[in-house]
Structure 1
């Protein structure tokens, strides 16, 4: 274990603080971290094999371990890593749930790992979601005893849910709990809803290893990826042990490591407020982060902060560097003021030294990349509208069809409308028959997927036409990685990158806008952003790329922190209403949208509230009072 800790320390960002009660390491990316974790698992497998002993692994499902399993499969195929001595026990399974159901964890594990390595079928243990209710209690006891009879788990891989659950040990679980059936928390079911095409399809029960079973493992590694896990990870790592956050029970385990990416670590004290942990090197970025924090903590605008405010809140060394609160406050006020602009494409014939964008060229070629066919208007509809109104050559590029997010009921409605026109084709009838007889876990037929894609295309064109954009400036890229017909997507491949490169090279943009929403590091937004980053890397030596600036916006769930914002585009009340109207064109995504999460507000309500909150934060810092603000951060490639 000591060797592995050294490896983690060297590879990631490691620092023990008085706030933290669980050893954790922060990596630049989940990809890098997953490889390190896979290497530890591989080393353990080899060590046990050399001792002629079985290697008993506890395995997790969900998006967090996918890259770990990919690396293990690679090591098996390319480096000869054998799983012949591995005995695996999965943490959990939905109940009831058949093994062949594509939503089952049995299916998941075989899809991502077992089908690709030489593990013996008899050594694979996944809780059986088809056990009868009468036999379920004894089945759980037997599952627990099977682990104990093998000497316990040598290694347990974990993810963490937003309720703080490990496995399906939901809030209220006891520290000594064993394998059992459990009722799933609403938040857990909401998070699973996209995979099941709606929360109503998510089972209410599951079988799970207990907290006691997990804690009996000799070694535990928990994976935490993305901003949406940051809050619960802070509670788990820095909070008190409580049954309301079952992962906190791991604080008492003496061989546990939490492996985090930057997004997941964002709320930790040493990341969010490092000046409370140790003396800091006060970079310009950290200065702004600290003063924004102090302003929010004291409920004072920048220009009213005093020397005492700084000294009382662990920032006396910053004050010593700057000389006085007065000078520092003005410096930070001016820095935030310069992010505000009503000219996202740059203001013509104006001094741009204190503006976020260049004044020249006056009319810019712009590409707005939208992962799904509504992210453009949801996330930056006001800025999109203004760019068109100010005469820029704006292009919209929808990276995926978004067909998976159209409900069967919505598709059935359009098929019945088409049938009513009595067209000389039997396609509408075929689609109607298919949808009426479709089973819950069945992948859509190609015809249905095409119809759902057409629905989203027509909605997108309605919104872009409303903003005055010509149809020939709207590009439907249909990146191949997305077109699987299921929630599980393929990895990026060269055809995806080629499509991105071709569009950029055709338009030669001065500005690119893209979704920087990384809450789910394995979600579609992240894959679409990666496709852009790879394309930029491929094209960066082209002359026209010297004049290309990239601005990242956030989606409907998260916004940039105030200190991260580099361009803030204010909106008037009338512009807020125009943005809302554009969002309304996406009717298939209204009224019970399939990927709602645990937030019951519709997307237009969420984003209006978010834009108003961003404006309020600016006003609270002492800046102008706007109705709403859309925020962007520049990406340097």
Structure 2
């Protein structure tokens, strides 16, 4: 048995309700806290397979995937090659897919991706690498796909197939409607698939509409299949795939019919599975305070009853009789949970001076706090917590907003060209400046070309000045606005460098300078291009290193969510309500970011402008609090405390 399965099963067999979950789950899956650890274990299984074939003098035939999910697997395989002598001399690979049309040299091609992350760093024979060719003439594609299938058969079929999963349920590029017996072919990409890829192509208009992909039938012939799923954006489709019926509308569900498939997931990707989302429906639970709150919020919303109106029968009919037996009566439970939720609401995010703070989210002392609002991009502060930002300033706290990256990649070329031409007209077209250089570059820029240093500087200045407009509107002095321009971001491309020591030191320096009582940071990991996570990792590492400093004893960290997602009601520890006037004030602050208003580069699958989605999300949160029987507000911003 595979090592990671042995480890996981040794743990999970001790869990209450282990065998109950099979009522819901139709594909074997293992869930890990850390995608890096899980990826390393998958890489080890692949390495063991390669070595076992080497001992027999046989080829090892691997089906490989692209995208963000397998990157850490490839990194670990490269490490094993360099440090442990793992040879790929006997390995034959077949990649799942490629965009069509697509040049190999294009940085968005899967040919480029595979060589960048794996093939250029190992000793695989070039003739053993097979990746669909995105430049085959259209009238030759049909025969090319047949030949690709025949080549796989010539090598005896796939020993191991690595997969990711798209939010349409596609594996490879087998979109909804794909047949169980489908083979390698050209296919039209779903709009959602293209939308998810838009950040890599600087906008959906540049994403190819077709692709060449291995078929479902080809994939299912593999001896072993491992599918990787990371992040909450995959949670819904993972649940549908593992627990739903087999259907061509969700091609990944065909994997239910494969005898040797395992899904490797992190907690967020697994969060919608019944055993995690509503474990009381699976079996007996250990009723911690967190689980109790999660279950009672769920029960209130499911029954459409306020917390205080839930009855004994509501609990018994919805798998929560154990909780009722433990606590006594629904009356006692309801009052207890109503008070817990009520105490999350505060109009004083920095703490209310001279007030009893026993049941308040924040301390009353010191009355005037030093506050850092970390913003990954130059607009996350007002989009995600603009109302709270205004409250902190209005209530007299020393607020510092810290923009971690320049955000230059999110400015369109057309927007940059407009600013450059206006500036050039003012300064004189004959003068040599950043503007004339930028105009020349932008007018001749190739589709696959990265921005020049001058253009990146110009785009960064656009974001910077928009930020000043918003912070001045809120009432913050310019001296309290900080731009870190973290080096990991400054590549001129969507793909960023890994977080480095220089990045961490820059973050540490600003924290050491301000010595904050409060830190607000973006805990939204659904950001389509990953910048939020890197920025958050940098803050966490900085906090870990600074923890021995005495001033850190008084520092509390609050995490907000960004434009794509909100904390669940059971997770919220501080809810800051907004009046109608405060909602308008937040909207106006967001609108200062004009370059992001009408042509959002990286908006995910949500076509609404940022101010609209933020406003509606805040109003939805307030509505949910109202449905639980709590006070009715126009809108609410939500936060969760991070203990470091």
- SS at 2:570 equivalent: helix
- SS at 1:563 equivalent: coil
Distance 1:2 1:456, change over 3 A: closer
Aligned: 1:140 with 2:145: yes
Q: Please list, as runs of the form range in 1=range in 2, the aligned pairs for 1:85-100 lying within 5 A after superposition.
A: 85-100=90-105
Residue by residue over 1:7-40, the C-alpha shift from the partner in whole angstroms, topping out at 9 and shown as x without a partner, is 4435889845111000111111211211111111
Where does residue 551 of structure 2 map in the other structure? 544
Residue by residue over 1:27-59, the C-alpha shift from the partner in whole angstroms, topping out at 9 and shown as x without a partner, is 112112111111111111111111111111111
Q: Please list, as runs of the form range in 1=range in 2, the aligned pairs for 1:151-300 lying within 5 A after superposition.
A: 151-300=156-305
Q: Which runs of 4+ in 1 moved over 6 A?
A: 11-14
From 479, 482, 485, the counterpart of 1:475: 482
Where does residue 434 of structure 2 map in the other structure? 427
- The answer for unaligned runs of 5 or more in structure 2 is none
> 1:96 & 1:223 partners in 2: Cα distance?
27
Where does residue 66 of structure 1 map in the other structure? 71
Q: Provide TM-score, normalisation by structure 2.
A: 0.97
Q: Please list, as runs of the form range in 1=range in 2, the aligned pairs for 1:406-555 lying within 5 A after superposition.
A: 406-423=411-428, 424-519=431-526, 523-555=530-562
Aligned: 1:398 with 2:403: yes
Cα deviation for residue 531 of structure 1 reads 0.6
Where does residue 9 of structure 2 map in the other structure? 9
Where does residue 571 of structure 1 map in the other structure? 578
Aligned: 1:560 with 2:561: no
Distance 1:354 1:304, change over 3 A: same
From 339, 342, 346, the counterpart of 2:344: 339
Equivalent pairs counted in the alignment come to 637
From 594, 599, 608, the counterpart of 1:601: 608
> 1:11 & 1:475 partners in 2: Cα distance?
47
> 1:587 & 1:203 partners in 2: Cα distance?
28
Where does residue 122 of structure 1 map in the other structure? 127
From 369, 377, 381, the counterpart of 1:372: 377
> 2:593 & 2:527 partners in 1: Cα distance?
23
Residue by residue over 1:293-334, the C-alpha shift from the partner in whole angstroms, topping out at 9 and shown as x without a partner, is 000110000000000100111111100111100000000000
> 2:381 & 2:52 partners in 1: Cα distance?
51
Distance 1:592 1:521, change over 3 A: closer
Residue by residue over 1:554-609, the C-alpha shift from the partner in whole angstroms, topping out at 9 and shown as x without a partner, is 01111000000000000000000000000001001011211122211111100111
- SS at 2:26 equivalent: coil
Where does residue 57 of structure 2 map in the other structure? 52
> 1:41 & 1:477 partners in 2: Cα distance?
41
- Worse-superposed segment, 76-85 or 509-518: 76-85
Aligned: 1:616 with 2:636: no
The answer on whether the counterparts of 1:618 and 1:625 sit within 8 Å (CA) in structure 2 is: yes
- Worse-superposed segment, 103-112 or 29-38: 29-38
Where does residue 310 of structure 1 map in the other structure? 315
Cα deviation for residue 261 of structure 1 reads 0.6
The answer on whether the counterparts of 1:365 and 1:507 sit within 8 Å (CA) in structure 2 is: yes
Where does residue 33 of structure 1 map in the other structure? 38
> 1:519 & 1:395 partners in 2: Cα distance?
25
> 2:44 & 2:311 partners in 1: Cα distance?
51
Cα deviation for residue 102 of structure 1 reads 0.5
> 1:482 & 1:427 partners in 2: Cα distance?
21
The answer on whether the counterparts of 1:12 and 1:27 sit within 8 Å (CA) in structure 2 is: no
- SS at 2:348 equivalent: coil
- SS at 1:509 equivalent: coil
RMSD: 1.3
- Worse-superposed segment, 319-328 or 49-58: 49-58
